[in-house]
Each structure stands twice: as structure tokens, then as C-alpha cells.
Amino acid sequence: MWLDFVRLGSCVQGRVLVNGLGLKKVGVLKTKIITIKDVPKGYNISYSNEYKAKKDSRLGIIGVRLY
């Protein structure tokens, strides 16, 4: 299968794991913790509840604004 797209992910933040690709850092991501939440073991986290806490945990919620 051949697909015509690329997921750059953290490459756009300058975190390139492979050298020699000619990629350059294009920006900086800065944010602050908005709130901290304690969740019990088994609590579903993220969009679509894709992650379930394996133990009682503390989460930091951050805000991101795109310009």
C-alpha cells in the first residue's frame, strides 16, 4: 500500500529523531497547566475514552491555542 501523506507530529517542534532530513524548527510550543485532576484507577481518559488509568493518577490539564 502506498499513501501520499506524512504525519510530522513533533518534527514541527524541532524534535527530530533522524538527522540529515533537512528539517528545521518552525516554532515553539509554550503552555501552562490549567488545572490538576486526580483520577481513580479504571477512569477513562482522552477523547473517545482511549486510555484507562492503570492506577490512581494525577493529571495536568494544559491549554493550547493555535494562531
Query: How is 2-28 classified by DSSP, letter by letter?
Result: -------GGGGGT--SSTTS-------
Name the helix (H) or strand (E) containing 33: strand 33-39
Residue 66 reports pLDDT greater than 90: no
pLDDT band at 38 (very low <50, low <70, confident <90, very high): very high
The predicted pLDDT at position 31 comes to 86
pTM of the model: 0.51
Sequence-ordered list of residues with C-beta below 8 angstroms from that of 52, at least 6 positions apart, any chain = 42, 43, 44, 45
Confidence label for 42 from pLDDT (cuts 50, 70 and 90)? very high
Q: What pLDDT digit, counting tens, does each position of 1-34 carry?
A: 666 666 666 666 666 666 666 766 666 777 889 9
